[in-house]
């Protein structure tokens, strides 16, 4: 079966932008490797566009304003925004792009005002797993089956949902809130008065929303842009607890809230809070609260 809307793939460098090719599911996913001769006229689309800069440096013009971007940055171009990319000399960009048609994905309408034009640096976007998400999108849209079509929408919505959350934090107030939450979670809080690390703050903010997921220390360090040893040291200095202590504390605090609901079973609560088995849940709960669940 031949696809009517194939994904745009960069077999060679380009001297002009990839033509817009919105699919029936409301997505346009593409890659573009710019040649040193790349030139782009001012343009605008009727849909939201995200650009992840894989390599190189450029200036993004938004109307009368402009911002610099480089490897690892995410560029947000809201619908109907006049824009163009001007590559830096000798360092043309390679990028991945995602176009999203709000009219075809109506569930996005309430969050669209959050996606304001701008360039967002790696530290703020570190928990989005952008590279992973784009790899998955590029694979899925290149398939011919309806299940992959649905999966591509799911991946795009997950990326946009996490992005919407990241765009509302971490501000200075959010960083202070994180410090207070660290104290509330572990009873210890920060023991380090140094300026907060933005990547660690972004990870902490993400962790408070995703503590129930399967997590590893290695993944936490990677998403924060640190070695395991550095992350372990900075995390404890920041929170007063080890990474595992902190994660289990978040899970147990949520379990305490759910135990107040009379119709909840302990097995269901343990699973919902991220514990794989009851014995681990009981041990963590007793160690953190001093009592057994329901006791």
The CATH number of residue 48's host domain is 2.60.120.280
106 domain residue, yes or no? yes
Same domain (yes/no): 161, 185? no
For residues 161 and 191, membership in a common domain is answered with: no
One domain, residues 32 and 162: yes
What pLDDT was estimated at residue 225? 83
**Above 70 in pLDDT, residue 178?**
no
Q: How many domains does the chain have?
A: 2
Please state, for a pLDDT cut of 90, what percent of the chain lies above it: 68
Among residues 131, 130, 136, 129, which one has the least CA distance to residue 153? 136
Q: What average pLDDT score do residues 30-52 get?
A: 96
Q: What is the pLDDT of residue 196?
A: 76
For residue 8, being part of any structural domain is answered with no
Is 80 exceeded by the pLDDT of residue 253? yes
Taking CA 185 as the corner, what is the angle to CA 181 and CA 188, rounded to the nearest 5 degrees? Answer: 90
Least Cα distance to 125 among 65, 173, 76, 60 occurs for 76
Specify if 7 maps to a domain: no
Mean of pLDDT values over 1-8: 48
pLDDT per position as a tens digit, 106-155: 999 999 999 999 998 865 566 668 888 999 999 999 998 999 999 999 99
Among 130, 148, 166, identify where a domain stops.
Answer: 166
Please check whether residue 17 lies inside any domain of the structure.
no
Q: Which residues contact 171 (CB under 8 A, 6 or more apart)?
A: none
Q: What pLDDT, on the 0 to 100 scale, is given for residue 211?
A: 93
**CA separation (Å) from 51 to 87, 123, 187, 215?**
14, 16, 41, 28
pLDDT of residue 262: 72
**Would you say residue 13 lies in a domain?**
no
- What pLDDT is recorded for position 121? 82
Of 235, 237, 236, 249, give the one whose Cα is nearest residue 200. 235
Residue 176: pLDDT over 90: no
The confidence score (pLDDT) of residue 209 equals 86
Mean pLDDT of 203-212: 89
* Shared-domain flag, residues 187 and 122: no
Q: Where are the alpha helices (DSSP H) in the chain?
A: 122-125, 130-140, 146-166, 172-186, 198-210, 217-223, 228-239, 243-259, 266-272, 278-289
Question: Average pLDDT in the 43-49 region?
Answer: 96
**Model confidence, pTM:** 0.72
Q: Choose one of 151, 166, 181: the last residue of a domain.
A: 166
125 and 228 share one domain? no
Query: In sequence order, which residues have a C-beta less than 8 Å from that of residue 177 and are 6 or more positions away?
Result: none
C-alpha–C-alpha distance, residues 100 and 184, integer Å: 39
Residue at 9 is within a domain: no
User: Average pLDDT of the chain?
Assistant: 87
Q: Which is nearest to 59 in space by CA: 45, 70, 48?
A: 70
Between CA 107 and CA 102 the distance in angstroms is: 8
Is 19 part of any domain?
no
pLDDT of res. 36: 93
Q: What is the pLDDT of residue 1?
A: 42
CA distance 86 to 106: 32
Residues 187, 286 share a domain = yes
**The pLDDT of residue 2:** 43
Domain termination residue (choose one: 131, 166, 201): 166
pLDDT, mean of residues 184-193: 59
User: Do 138 and 186 have their domain in common?
Assistant: no
231 and 288 in a single domain? The answer is yes
With 80 as the cut, is the pLDDT of residue 179 above it? no
Region 233-244 average pLDDT = 94
Residue 4 lies in a domain: no
Write the CATH number for 270.
Answer: 1.10.10.60
Domain residues for the domain of 119 are 27-166
Rounded Cα gap, residues 35 and 15, in angstroms: 5
Q: Which single residue is written with the structure tokens 């996490």?
A: 162
Of 7-11, 158-162, 244-248, the least confident: 7-11
In the predicted structure, residue 240 carries a pLDDT above the cut 70: yes
The answer on 262 and 241 residing in a single domain is yes
Residue 147 confidence (pLDDT): 95
Same domain, 177 and 161: no
Of all residues in the chain, what percent carry a pLDDT higher than 70?
84
């Amino acid at each position: 079966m031949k696809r009517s809307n194939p994904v745009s793939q960069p077999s060679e460098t380009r001297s002009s932008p990839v033509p817009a090719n919105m699919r029936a599911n409301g997505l346009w996913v593409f890659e573009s490797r710019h040649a040193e001769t790349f030139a782009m006229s001012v343009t605008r689309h009727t849909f939201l566009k995200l650009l992840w800069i894989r390599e190189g440096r450029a200036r993004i013009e938004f109307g009368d304003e402009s911002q610099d971007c480089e490897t690892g940055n995410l560029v947000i171009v809201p619908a109907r925004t006049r824009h163009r990319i001007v590559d830096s000399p000798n360092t043309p960009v390679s990028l991945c792009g995602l176009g999203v048609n709000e009219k075809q994905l109506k569930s996005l309408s309430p969050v669209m005002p959050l996606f304001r034009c701008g360039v967002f640096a790696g530290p703020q976007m570190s928990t989005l797993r952008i590279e992973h998400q784009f790899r998955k999108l590029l694979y899925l849209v290149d398939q011919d089956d309806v299940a992959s079509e649905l999966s591509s929408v799911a991946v795009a919505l997950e990326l946009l949902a996490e992005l919407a959350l990241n765009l509302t934090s971490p501000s200075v107030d959010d960083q202070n809130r994180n410090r207070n939450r660290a104290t509330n979670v572990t009873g210890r809080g920060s023991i380090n008065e140094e300026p907060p690390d933005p990547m660690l703050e972004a990870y902490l903010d993400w962790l408070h929303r995703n503590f129930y997921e399967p997590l590893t220390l290695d993944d936490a360090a990677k998403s924060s842009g640190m070695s395991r040893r550095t992350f372990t040291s900075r995390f404890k200095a920041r929170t007063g607890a080890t990474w595992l202590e902190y994660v289990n504390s978040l899970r147990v605090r949520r379990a305490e809230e759910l135990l107040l609901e009379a119709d909840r079973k302990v097995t269901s609560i343990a699973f919902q809070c991220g514990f794989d088995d009851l014995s681990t849940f009981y041990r963590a709960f007793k160690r953190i609260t001093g009592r057994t669940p329901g006791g």
